[in-house]
Structure 1
Amino acid sequence: MEELMKSMPSPSPPGLPGLGLPGVGLQAAGLPGGAHRGWLFKWTNYLKGYQRRWFVLSNGLLSYYRTQAEMAHTCRGTIPMATAHIQVGDTCHLVVTSGGRSYHLKATSDPDCQRWVASLQEAKDQATQMMEHSDDSGDEGQLGADGRGLAAGVLKTLAVKLDDLSTCNELIGKHGAALQRSLSELEDPRGSGDGTDRLKAINERAALFRITSNAAINACRDFLDVAALHNRRWQRALQYEREQRHHLEETIEQLAKQHNTLERAWRESPGSHAAGVKRVETLEGEASDESDEFFDAVEDSPPFITVTTSNHTQHRRSASNNSMTSGGQPHDWTHHHSDALQQRRPRRSRIPDKPNYSLNLWSVMKNCIGKELSKIPMPVNFNEPLSMLQRLTEDLEYSELLDRAACCDSTLEQMCLVAAFSVSSYSTTLHRTAKPFNPLLGETYELDRLDEYGYRSISEQVSHHPPAAAHHVTSQRGWTLWQDITIDSKFRGKYISVMPLGLIHLQFEASGHHYVWSKVTSTVHNVIVGKLWIDQTGDMEVVNQTTKDSCHLKFSPYSYFCRDTPRKVSGVVQDRDGTAHYVLSGSWDHKMESAKILDSSPGGSEGRQKTVYQTLPTKLLWKKYPLPDNAENMHFFSSLALTLNEAEVGVAPTDSRRRPDQRLMEAGLWDQANVQKQRLEETQRLDRKRREEESSRELEDGRDVERYRPRWFERRTNEETGERSYCPQIF
């Protein structure tokens, strides 16, 4: 019993504010003007020697920065003065040491050195006094090894007191029950034994009950005292953590703003980015004493160099400009675009503006690193009001390129136009960082543009996991396009990678030429901090399976420090023998051009083998349409994308236009859209579970398991290639 009555041992003394906490210099940077601060020279390494740094002494902390401007966002190091040792040398030198870290410093003059030494000693004395006389102030900063040890000791003490209370509870129950039995026996007149013995037993049991009750009361009091004492410390520690988190959020926000400012400045003056690169390299070379800093490497240059020939006759120039014609007529992009606009029947040109909701993608996806994106439940806040089936159909934005290609007599010129079409499908993605809706199994989408553009498109979600869609397009202007595509997407922490798997097929009726290619990887950057932006990278091989002509396209990664055109795409069109005939150049967000090759020769330097092509002047193949007015408030939709979710008469009940969550989101009712989205996804999960149970029963009964069968597509085998693909049952 004596063990239960012992008092709680007193906790270890509190620590110094900010001791061992990274980033405390951020707090020092915002101190009032009375803090001691100024320039000192700090020893960095044997190569660079002493470097000029800005030091701030305040609140018992000595912090330093590379420049005064860095006080707003980046502290390079901090030493707590309470545990610091100050050693003064000769010729303005001094050394400040604490916890294994030493700052070798040098002042500009003896008076300046004496002022710093006096201030440092005064700060050390004040911090030591605070550490000795403060009972619980400042424990919010003790989050290092000492703080963890103190917290562990307190928790252990509280656990012991809880054990004491548990023991007291058991004893109180036991002795209380015995006392109750003795009282019952005393009241029973039929009871046996002397009354004196009964009273003696009652007194003994009452004494035991009183002792255990007092022990429980004392244990409760000790527990409350310890909890109350350390509750104040932990409240202050929690408040300190909140303040530090606030400082960190402000710092990250400032870095993001600086990032956006740098990007905007670079875009406004792209011609000066090379000088900017040199300036960044110079600054980094002067101030890299604490850590190595790395930047995106400049992308390697392409394996060929194009030299445009300018001294040809006007006749030859005219012939080259009219080389890709239909029936001998030149294909001017502007003229073709205006004709297409005149043929379009009236369709909607705007949708309701997107609500100005605060979005935090990281808060939803921070626990989903490495997972497939289609398996992450996400609110509609991170979607755009289109499904993946509609995004596939949006690849037909520049279908006139295929109309022109169908009329080409030259297979190589036809290849140029097909390659430009394959690049044009990415032009709508530049600002489209939102995620399209994952189609439900069996969901369809039909787009009838026979009157305007001569084609009709139908697509269907044929698999849920993995997500897969079948897409088929027929055109009255001489071509057919089809694809079976599966999306493999991964969240990597800082970015999201979307890898489309599957081949795109294109066949022209007149010539029978059959083209095949696959898509490149799309990457969404700055998931954690900064402005989201998207990039397309990788190699694309467009092959004419009939003639074996090919075009190899390279989508170069975007880099602030690259001298090439941003979002550059380059390629060469070759015949089946490997002879190059055309050079393609441009960017996936703006335009593509072709240049006919006249001659080629080997070149390169420093061991890099390159081919130098001499070409005719470039010819425009494709140019991006301007976005509609107010596009930034309409999810950056193109003119075609604005019409994809427009209500149509006679579409199937499974059409994407009929999805209630997508329709509500487009109307700006995001809360209602989230409710509908969760309902549809739960229904789909129940349907999948039911199908799996039915399949299990069929297996147990020895019957063949019937797999899910799409409604409008069926799997067929190509007799020539042996490839299995989805074909529409009716079209």
Structure 2
Amino acid sequence: MASNNDPKQGSGFFASFASTISSFGTAMTKSVNGLIGYEGLQVINPDGGTEDAEDEAQKGRWRQEDRDSYWKMMQNYIGSDVTSMVTLPVLIFEPMTMLQKVAELMEYSYLLELADECDDPHMRLVYAASWFISVYPAIQRTWKPFNPILGETYEFVNHGGITFIAEQVSHHPPMSAAHAENEHFVYDITSKLKTKFLGNSVDIYPVGRTRLTLKKSGVVLDLVPPLSKANNIIFGRTWVDSPGDMILTNLTTGEKVVLYFQPCGWFGAGRYEVDGYVYDAEEEPKFLMTGKCNEFMSYQPCDSEGEPTPGTELKEAWRAADLPKNDKFQYTHFAHKLNSFDTAPKPLLPSDSRLRPDRLALEHNDLSKAGAEKARLEDRQRAEKRTRESKKDEFKPKWFELTDEKATTPWGELEVYRYNGKYEQYRAGVESSDKSSQEFDPWQYHEDSQT
């Protein structure tokens, strides 16, 4: 299996490509350096195309004056984790929060039904791995979701019998926890996003601990995903790459899946391509898997050398649903459901992401109001932190609790939060009602009680 190598940074290599290959009708990648006066920035069109570098540099969501002033500020953060250091303008946001983004994994939950009911332990991993791959069309979206406010929640029902609850359990560092369950599976995740700003790109490290339990067999699966890279975040057309290995391990029996995400090469070569194997506990390959993480995954039995077994054929395990046409945020139909109150239980928790005024304003294309509301929420969050510190109080999540467990990831250690079961108790104790709160309220202290 190929290893993951970070692409080279810096402008020297790319600056040497300054001409267009007209005979192929595509443009070589060029550096912005020398065209608009900024050093060390690369503008790459991963899909090829015929635009020259200057045209490509003008694409994206930024107005020229916004881009220039933002770049001057961001130069100070090169090499840093900017997860919660920088206030970002709403023009690069989508009307969704990170908690809702976690819930996007639930779209193709039928794959977990197939995995749970499958008696073949290796086919079980084919379906489970395909389920984890199925979230990558959402990851490829280039709009940024809102960072959740401390204490913010997101609830989700009415899809595959799933009950989903997520909560922002820490602000510094930003951490989320989520729990999902139906008759076939239990899914738990603690996520601590870590980033590294590289000038015109950001490396995004998925520091997290994921557990998926299939109820029929009782097996517990652990996921280690590859990092993601958001490219051309200030200059050029933004695009996302996720190069490296995804490893899914059956902690109960020792079987595993190793899938390699090909890095995007020249003119988009290899972009989205995923290949790998399902291995038994003795590390012998049993199935090969191949596909594109934004479209489909297929599988085929293989021999001990990894070659397709004679007489077998490549079969499709998963295919992404068709997308809405001309959707501003490149949402899937399912992503639109996540913002809908039709997928929310009643009464809705007042801390739910759907009720955020900045998110609602952006959904209605009111950027001015969205920006003002975002700033107001962030100011309120800082004020609540000061109140908590003055009272010598510690924030305690409602639906998750901090454990003594530490998870080791390729990008550092992680504190683990565990679902406490109180959400089901709460839901069992409230009557279903058409009347839900319409005011966003994740606060531990209300304004009249702050000091």
TM-score by length of 2: 0.75
Partners of 1:456 and 1:435 in 2: CA distance: 25
Could you say which residue in structure 1 is the equivalent of 2:323?
Answer: 627
1:689, CA displacement in angstroms? 2.0
Name the CA distance, whole Å, in 2 between partners of 1:668 and 1:712: 33
1:493 maps to 199
CA offset digits 1:3-37 (Å, max 9, x no partner): xxxxxxxxxxxxxxxxxxxxxxxxxxxxxxxxxxx
Q: 1:681 to 1:66 in 2, by over 3 A?
A: closer
Paired position in structure 2 for 1:374 = 84
Match of 1:514 in 2: 220
Answering whether residue 425 of structure 2 is matched by residue 726 of structure 1, we say no
Give CA-to-partner distance per residue, 1:538-590, whole Å, 9 cap, x none.
21211111111111111111112686x43211111111111211001111111
Pairwise CA RMSD: 3.1
Following TM superposition, by how much is the alpha carbon of 1:249 offset from its aligned partner in structure 2, in angstroms? 3.9
- Comparing both structures, which one devotes a greater share of its residues to helix? 1
Q: Is the 8 A contact 2:284 2:304 kept in 1?
A: no
Instruction: Answer whether contact 1:486 1:502 (CA < 8 A) is retained.
Output: yes
Whole-angstrom CA distance in 1 between matches of 2:255 and 2:148: 36
- Partner SS state of residue 281, structure 2: coil
Instruction: Provide the residue aligned with 1:436 in structure 2.
Output: 145
Question: Is the contact made by 1:536 and 1:555 (CA closer than 8 Å) also made in structure 2?
Answer: yes
1:142-157 matches, cutoff 5 A:
none
Q: Which residue of 2 aligns with 1:547?
A: 253
Q: Which residue number in structure 2 is paired with residue 384 of structure 1?
A: 94
For the residue of structure 1 that corresponds to 2:48, the secondary structure is helix
Distance (whole Å) between structure 2 residues aligned to residue 612 and residue 596 of structure 1: 8
Shift of 1:361: 5.0
Q: In structure 1, the residue corresponding to 2:423 is in which secondary structure?
A: coil
| Contact 1:600 1:614 (C-alpha < 8 Å) held by counterparts | no
Secondary structure, in 3 states, of the residue corresponding to 1:375? Answer: coil
SS of the residue aligned with 1:625?
coil
Structure 2 vs 1, CA of residues 650 and 640 (structure 1 numbering), >3 Å: closer, same or farther?
A: same
Q: Displacement, 1:508?
A: 1.3
Change (3 A) 1:525 1:730: same
2:297, 2:47 → 1: CA distance? 27
Q: Does 1:445 align with 2:151?
A: no
Count of aligned pairs? 368
**Matches of residues 62-211 of structure 1 in structure 2 within 5 Å?**
none
Quick one: distance in 1 between partners of 2:38 and 2:361? 37
SS in 2 for 1:689: helix
After superposition, the C-alpha distances for 1:467-498 in whole angstroms (9 at most, x for unaligned) are 0011000113x111110111001211021111
Deviations 1:610-656 (A, max 9, x none): x655452111001111111222x2x0010111121223552101000
Which residue of 2 is the match for residue 715 of structure 1?
402
- The separation in 2 between residues aligned to 1:261 and 1:429, in whole angstroms, is 16
Q: CA deviation at 1:363?
A: 3.7
- 1:475 to 2:182 alignment: yes
Q: Go from structure 1 to structure 2 and tell me whether the alpha carbon gap of 1:265 and 1:622 turns closer, same or farther (over 3 Å shift).
A: farther
Q: 2: distance between equivalents of 1:499 and 1:413?
A: 29
> Is the Cα contact below 8 Å between 2:83 and 2:193 reproduced in 1?
no
Partner of 1:465: 172
- Partner residue, 1:403: 113
Q: Which has the higher contact order (CA 8 A, sep 6+)?
A: 2
Q: In the TM superposition, what whole-angstrom CA distance separates every residue of 1:266-286 from its partner, at most 9, and x where no partner exists?
A: 9xxxxxxxxxxxxxxxxxxxx
What amino acid is the match of 2:134? S
Contact kept? 1:374, 1:489, Cα under 8 Å:
no
Q: Is the 8 A contact 1:495 1:525 kept in 2?
A: yes
Query: Which of 284, 303, 306 is the matching residue for 1:579?
Result: 284
User: Structure 1 residues 249 and 473 mapped into 2: Cα distance closer, same or farther (>3 Å)?
Assistant: same
8 Å contact kept, 2:96–2:359? yes
8 Å contact 1:361–1:527 — kept in the other structure? Answer: no
Alignment of 1:616-695 (within 5 A): 616-631=312-327, 633=328, 635-647=329-341, 648=344, 649-695=346-392
Structure 1 residue corresponding to 2:208, chosen from 502, 506, 517 = 502
| Worse-matched range after superposition: 372-381 or 620-629 | 372-381
Q: Which residue of 2 aligns with 1:536?
A: 242
Q: CA deviation at 1:362?
A: 6.0
* SS class of match (1:675): helix
Aligned-pair CA distance for 1:379: 1.8
User: C-alpha distance in 2, partners of 1:724/1:422?
Assistant: 20
1:153 aligns with: none
- From the superposition, tell whether residues 532 and 361 of structure 1 become closer, same or farther in structure 2 (CA, over 3 Å): farther
The CA deviation at 1:717 is: 6.3
CA distance in 2, matches of 1:251, 1:545: 49
Contact 2:228 2:241 in 1 (8 A): yes
Structure 2, gaps ≥5 residues long: 1-17, 23-31, 52-60, 409-414, 425-451
Q: How big is the shift at 1:369?
A: 2.2
> Secondary structure of 2:242's partner?
strand
Any idea what SS the aligned residue of 2:115 has?
Answer: helix
1:82-118 per-residue CA deviation (whole Å, 9 max, x = no partner) reads: xxxxxxxxxxxxxxxxxxxxxxxxxxxxxxxxxxxxx
Measured at CA, do residues 673 and 262 of structure 1 come closer, stay the same or move farther in structure 2, by a change above 3 Å?
closer
1:248-397 aligned within 5 A: 248-249=35-36, 260=45, 263-264=48-49, 358=63, 360-361=66-67, 363-365=69-71, 366-367=74-75, 368-371=77-80, 372-397=82-107
Q: Look up the SS of the partner of 1:263 in the other structure.
A: coil
CA contact (8 A) 2:99 2:166 kept: yes
Matches of 1:261 and 1:464, distance apart in 2: 34
Q: Is the 8 A contact 2:226 2:242 kept in 1?
A: yes
Q: Secondary structure at the match of 2:200?
A: coil
SS at structure 2 position matched to 1:578: coil
- Residue 311 of structure 1 is matched in structure 2 by none
Kindly, what percent of the aligned residue pairs are identical? 31
Name which one, 1 or 2, has greater alpha-carbon Rg.
1
Partner in structure 1 of residue 11 of structure 2: none
| Alignment deviations for residues 221-248 of structure 1 (CA, whole Å, 9 cap, x no partner) | xxxxxxxxxxxxxxxxxxxxxxxx9x94
Q: Aligned equivalents of 1:668 and 1:685: distance in 2?
A: 27
